[in-house]
Amino acid sequence: MGHKGLLHRLVGLLLGAASAGAWLTFVAANGFARGNDTRGYLRLADALWSLRVLTSARTPGYPIFLVACRALAAALGTDLGWVVAVLQTILLAGVTTVLVHDLGWRLTTRPGIGALAAALFALDVDLQQYGATMLTEALMVTLTVAMVSLRLRDGTWRRAAWLLAALALVRPNFVVFPLAFAGLDALRLRRLRAVLAPLWPTAVVLAVWSAVALASGADPARPLRWFVPMHTFGTVYEAGLWMRLPDGPERRLLADQKARGHNAYQAAEALEAFAGPGSKATVAQAAIRADPLGYAAARAALLPLEFRRGSWAEAELFQYVHPDAALLHVLSRFHSRYRGLFYGSFPLFLVLLGMFAANGFGWPVARAAGREVIVPFVAVLFVSVGLSSLGTYGVGRLAIAFHPFDALCWACASGALAHRLVTGRGAEAPPSHAPSSHTRPTTSLKD
């Protein structure tokens, strides 16, 4: 690496340090936060700390992270919440900003584009607020960007596949990602080894966890057995598909729950208290059979909501120790303007993704990276969340791992437009000192 490469690395580190410093100030002002799912993660983490495994609807990835944070908190003699908030903020606002800068630079060979992508990522309030909160989002986004960075740098899944496996432990819907990338590589490379590369680490990790859980008397399939019926029922309830059911006590109960303004979790609890365990799945299946097209339309309608819906400072998700009302108000005003500009149009986002896959906005390395990794990742993320989410409830939060790539899309597109305006030409091929993928069978951003 030459002096220019070292300079660009230094710029990335400075941007990461500035971002981490700003968001650590946010943590200091508001304290750490608990979310609606924090209790479930802590319950499993407490058991793991005591070398026990419990049957839980939560996957073990985030509780394992909390165990590591607890060990650090014990060594420092401080509160777990503060350790989680500080460590997650350093990872999300600091390390991940550096990675986004590096991706923007390497995809285009333009340091300014890397800096713009990093700045857009660091200013994404909807995303950065999760650093302070004991929820999976911050860890999920950091793992996602690190996975994409390794996959593009190596040109193979040799290391990145292990981060895919870690993501599968953090969020249930990430189990489908190794399968999706294996299918894509099967079509593109037609080699068995290439097909197995993204798959086997996830298979090994899940097999090991299942063996440990079963040996402890726990049910490792509990997350899927809970989420699938609950989220299917949730979509049926939110979309009003339960009204397709024949008149009966279950239909009348759901009508009463809706009239009271109860959410899907409350309605499911009331239904099972009345009709017995498993009734939410039975009712959901009956409603889907009565209107399969309505159910498909309800799922499809979630896709733009995944893009547009934010969760800035929601009381249910961000229960800060000592919230700073003035700071939150100022950031709320900035948040509305940022979202209006960068998250105001789902069709525009689809156009940007299409351009990323079609021609990389004119940047040759970006084109291959977009086709092989980034655009497929975003597409599978949106579809998997749309098919597996409870409904509109929290759907933007569940798909928040696409945010770094929205920043990259805007940065690459803006850089290409600026380059065309200045030179009168489209984006150029990378100079000889920059990373290139023209002669490699898979995308690589190595020096």
Looking at residue 190, its pLDDT comes to 83
Q: For the segment 366-403, what is each residue's pLDDT rounded down to a tens digit? A: 999 999 999 999 999 999 999 999 888 889 999 999 99
pLDDT interval class at 433 (50, 70, 90): very low
Mean pLDDT throughout 411-426?
A: 87
Looking at residue 423, its pLDDT comes to 82
For the chain, the first-to-last Cα distance in angstroms comes to 7
pLDDT interval class at 431 (50, 70, 90): very low
Looking at residue 445, its pLDDT comes to 75
Per-residue tokens: 7: 């300079």
Q: For the segment 291-321, what is each residue's pLDDT rounded down to a tens digit? A: 999 999 999 999 999 999 988 999 889 999 9
pLDDT score of 436 more than 70: no
Per-chain mean pLDDT for the chain: 92
Measured CA distances, 24 to 83, 145, 321, 326, 358 (Å): 12, 20, 15, 17, 39
Query: Between vectors from CA 113 to CA 111 and to CA 117, what angle results, nearest 5°?
Result: 120
Within 10 angstroms of residue 207's Cβ, the number of other Cβ atoms is: 11
Per-residue tokens: 155: 């040109």
Mean pLDDT throughout 201-216?
A: 96
Q: How many CA atoms lie within 13 A of 441 on its CB side?
A: 8
Looking at residue 107, its pLDDT comes to 96
Mean pLDDT throughout 109-122?
A: 96
Looking at residue 409, its pLDDT comes to 97
Looking at residue 435, its pLDDT comes to 44
Residues 389 and 296 sit within 8 Å (Cβ to Cβ): no
Looking at residue 439, its pLDDT comes to 36
Looking at residue 426, its pLDDT comes to 66
When mean pLDDT is compared across 166-180, 218-232, 349-363, 421-435, the lowest value belongs to 421-435
